Amino acid sequence: MNIIETRLNQHLDQLSKSDIDVVKSLNEMANRIPQSKISDLAPLCFTSVATLHRVIKKLGFDGFSDFKYALKDEMTLKSVEKPNDVDFYETILKDIELTKRLNENEIVKIAKLFSHASKCYCYGTGWKQNQMIDNFSRDLLYYGKHFSILRTIDDLNVIGKDANSDYYMLILSLGGNGSEYVEAIKRLKFKGTTIISITKDSTNALAQLADYSLYFKYSQDDINKHWNTLTLHFLLENLLEAIINEC
């Protein structure tokens, strides 16, 4: 339903039969209205310019210009390319395959580390990261492996006060460049803590600091839009399986 049909339904009780016929004619030629003058459209609607202007105002528009630009705006929004289901599916499969290849060797090393470590901590730098790292940690409990979950940057700083070479820190971030947690990780690193980072596939400060780095493929250009976490889910499940196999 376009804006013409919507306004017709909203103002139906104010329109005569002849008005409705004019609106129907407008709807049939909706695509050409943004490029037309009211004097061009009136004959095509079998009415006068004055009548056409009156009907457009009955539909709730200030006038023909308002009507024309509202229709143009709607068409512009509809013309924005929508994600194709097939393309989305193929992109995700490709990203998962690339994620697998990126981390095959490193995951085995990290799984061996965690299988013998006694003081394991994990931290997610945002609410989605926190949720996912929380699920990861809870799943490991069923296999006798405990990760202490750090909820805030303050928790991360507190751990840093007593950290030593027996500590293992798994930190999950999208971009890996947050100044607060990067500084906290530097302090942990100085005290000998083993750092394992998980970030998107890009050069970033966190991955450069880490002793071990895992990457998930992230094809989305705009991080301000919805963050698709499917490849990250895959990576965490892959790491989980590897740790379980080492336990």
Give per-residue pLDDT as tens, 23-48.
Answer: 999 999 998 898 999 999 999 999 99
Q: Work out the mean pLDDT of the chain and round it to a whole number.
A: 89
Domain boundaries defined on the chain: 3-79, 85-246
The CA-to-CA distance between both ends of the chain, in Å, stands at 58
Question: Residue 228 above 60 pLDDT?
Answer: yes
pTM above 0.85, yes or no: no
CA angle, 97 then 98 then 101, to 5°: 90
CATH architecture of the domain 85-246 equals 3-Layer(aba) Sandwich (3.40)
83/46 Cα distance (integer angstroms)? 41
| Predicted pLDDT of residue 69 | 86
Assess whether the region 3-79 and the region 85-246 belong to the same CATH fold.
no
Give the model confidence (pLDDT) of 174-196 as tens digits. Answer: 999 999 899 999 999 999 999 99
Element (H, E) at 168: strand 167-172
| Predicted pLDDT of residue 23 | 92
CATH architecture of the domain 3-79 equals Orthogonal Bundle (1.10)
- The pLDDT > 90 percentage for the chain reads 62
Give the model confidence (pLDDT) of 113-128 as tens digits. Answer: 988 888 999 999 998 9
